Structures are given as C-alpha cells and as structure tokens.
Structure 1
Amino acid sequence: MGQRDRGPFRVGERVLVPHTDKYYEAKTLKSQKREDGIWYYLLHYQGWNKKWDEWVEAPGLVKYDAKLAEVDLSQEDKGGPDGKGKKRKLEEGEAGEEDGPQDTFDKAAHIQVEVPPALKKVLLDDWERITRDGKLVPLPRRPSVRDILQQYVDANRAKKDLTDAEEEIASGLRTYFDKACGRLLLYNQERKQAEQVLTEACVPSNIYGGEHLLRLLVKLPELLPIVSIAPDDKVKLETRILEFVRFLTTKQAAFFLAASQYQAAPH
C-alpha cells in the first residue's frame, strides 16, 4: 500500500495529540479513510492502558517533535498551537472520557460523566468554530452559567422536586467553573478576549455561558477525585450530575449558540 493510501501518517508512527494542558504522545495502530473523506487513526497513548486507545481524525494529530512535546499549553505565554490539532472523539456512545488520558487519571477513582451525542456535537462544533473558523463566543453570554444553573434549580422547584442536592450541585458547579475557567476551559484563541472581559469585579460564571459550562462537565472526572467517597455517595453524585446533563439536553436550543451567532475574532 502506498503512502497516499495511508493518509498523512504511517501505521506505527509516533504522533502528538494536543490537549488543553499539553501534548500527549501516541502511536498509530490502524488507519481508516471514512465516508467523510477524512483519515482516522486508532491511537495508543504512550504509557497508558489500552482501554484509552481511540480513533482520532488526522487533523487532530501533529507529527512527533520532542521539543513540541514539552510545550505547556495551559500557560498563556507559551504560545502553543492555534488549535489545529485539537483531539476529537469519534466513537459513538462513548461517555465520560471526553478529554482522554491524564498523567494522574485513575478512572476507577473518579466520577463518570455521561455526555449524550447531541451535547458531544455541541462541543465539537464549538471547538471547530473557534479553532478552525476564527470565531468567538460573544461575551457576555446570556443566559450565563449562573443563569443556567439557577434555571435548573427553579425548574426542580416548579416541579416540587427541589432538594438540597440540586442546590448543592448548582452551587458546586458554579464554584468549580469560576476556579477552572481561566486555566482549563479556554482555547488559546479565546485568551485575548478573556483578558478584555474578565476583571476583578467580574466572575466567569456571569460572563460565559453554556458552551463553556459544557467544557467543564467533560472535565469533571479530572477535577473531582473521590477516592475517599463511599460507593453509594459516588453513585448519588453521578446521578445528580446526569440529571443536570439531561436538563441541558432538553434546553439545548436555549442554552447553546447557533453557528450564525458566533462572532468573528478581531485581527
């Protein structure tokens, strides 16, 4: 088989996968050109159990470079890539692993967050518009993260299903969002915009909306280690988060931007 029949990468080649904080080294195991005309590669991440093996599209990969592998993408001053190689999940029905392997990630000791296909598509579309199309989410967003969480509480109150659990989930998500936003939830293309809109008097949950809240949800397994929590409590927490995710799904049209609502990034 000629090189042109294998796509831009060889089977067995070392590659890098850009993620929010760093590049992850992987090895291509298989290649496949799919109906959309794009090459996909089955990857095995260096030093990770094969359970993390996944299919990633060719534009989500970077040729291996030892120097590039040391770049810290979470630091604004590092420069980093402009998002061309963001990792993209491909397997239908895959849940709770939206961001791939982490250096200290033990799946068994973390909560599982199931993200339905409809919301995964929102994530992917959002990423493509920002990193490929040069668009930005207009800020401040309405409804904001705070508004969405309050609507969740109000919806349960209206159904007379409100318990302390719903209010605790809403409060906890808002707290985590405000702490994680600037460090973990922004693409490089969004950082200049963030510098302009985020001041000491503003909190991220009042400025950003559903798109960035969804990014938080897929990172919760990394942010909420629960090694010491009882199994029953772990199940309860996962159930409450799942209920919130379902709420987002039912309000998808109201909470997430349409393609035409993104704005062009200033040059």
Structure 2
Amino acid sequence: MSQHPPIGEVEGKAEAVEKMFDTIAPQYDLLNRVLSFGIDQYWRTRAIRLLDDEQPTRVLDVATGTADLAIKAEQMLHPREVVGIDLSAEMLAYGRTKIDRQGLSPRISLVQGDAQNLPFGDHSFDAAMVAFGVRNFEDLNAGLRGIRRVLRPGGRLVVLEFSRPRTFPIKQLYAWYSRHVLPRIGGTLSPDAGAYEYLPNSVAEFPDGTDFLDRMNDSGFAELLWEPLTFGIASLYRGTVPQ
C-alpha cells in the first residue's frame, strides 16, 4: 500500500497525488461507480449542463483522470475539441483506451500536466471543467488562476467536487460511510486502501461551499454560483472570467 498524499495545500502534494492515481488507475472507474452507487454519472451530467448555453467550441477538462467528463462533454456539447489534462500517466492511458473505443480520438486529446502550469496559451479555451480534482491541487488558488489564464474573457469554469453534508441525519450517515465503509470497499477493490482513507480526509479539510466561492473570487472569477447536490454530498460551482 502506498502512502497517501498530504491533506490540504502542501508542497510536494502533486507528486504524491500522481503516484496514488497511477496505482489505482485500473480500478478507478469501477470504484467510482460502486462507492457513489452510480450517482457520480448524474453529477457529471449536471456539471456539463451548466455549459449548455455557452456552446463552447474548445473545452478544457482539468484533472481529467480516465476522461469520463471529457467524453460526456463531447457527447453532450459537441464542441470542436475537448482537451483533458491530468498528472497521472496511468489514468490518461485508461482514458485514451476509452476514447479510442468510442471513436472519439479525433475530437478528444489527453495531455499530462498540472493545473498550476497549464501548457496552453492565454485565452485559448471557451470553457473549463474540473470534476473531483480541485481538492487534489497542491496550491488551490494557483490552480484556479492557471485555469483562468487559459480561458477567454467571458469563458466559464465549472467545478464538481465532494462537499460536507450539513443536515441531520445525512451529515452523520455520510461521516459513518466515509469512515467505515468507503475505505473498506476501496481496500478490497484497489491495491491502495490508503487512497480511500485520503479521500474522506481531504473532503473534510477542503474549503467547500462559500469558502470555495471566495477562492474563485480571489482567483479572478465573477458571476459565482454554488449548487449543492444529493444532500450536499457533492457541490457544483460556476464562475466566469470577466469581459
């Protein structure tokens, strides 16, 4: 079992995140479906719907993982191009297999890289998305500023991330599930049980809700939106680059 990444914004976190996801890549999609009871697909659909009225032609998917969100964005939005970027080469390899299998390789490309140092020019995308990735940024504000840089004026960022339920009894049930059930299932299906101890711990420390909107505002985004999903287990955030 590999050691999981440090919690919060810590120097050297990116390298640890890369190693962790390289390890769990073969089981990642299965674990997502099992641990979320399949509702993660619904959450992704809701995220992409926030870009419907934008009709973007070039879309960036940061922390794309195995390209689930990138594939769904191509199918729902029909942009000219979707570019996915991720730290983990192994996750990207599984993503490319899925893209090739569905005949989408001409329209979806995957690149290895970091949100803080995106290898793209200024204002080169109409929209950007991050699903369950901002929590793993080594420096959250730097990552958000990097995304803002590559978005055109008026471009939109949509973030889907786990959050902390705040109402009884969901708060208590979620805490029990995260502490006892999630690590056990993750450890059974994955070679790295520590990854599924890292997940609830990182959610507990993440600045969700209005705190995350403050981070988006500090990073230069406007017209901010926060929408809790499924009793607050996940949240959608939206921000726009000022014209």
What is the TM-score of this pair, normalised by structure 2? Answer: 0.29
Structure with more strand by fraction: 2
Q: Which structure carries more relative contact order (alpha carbon 8 Å, separation 6+)? A: 2
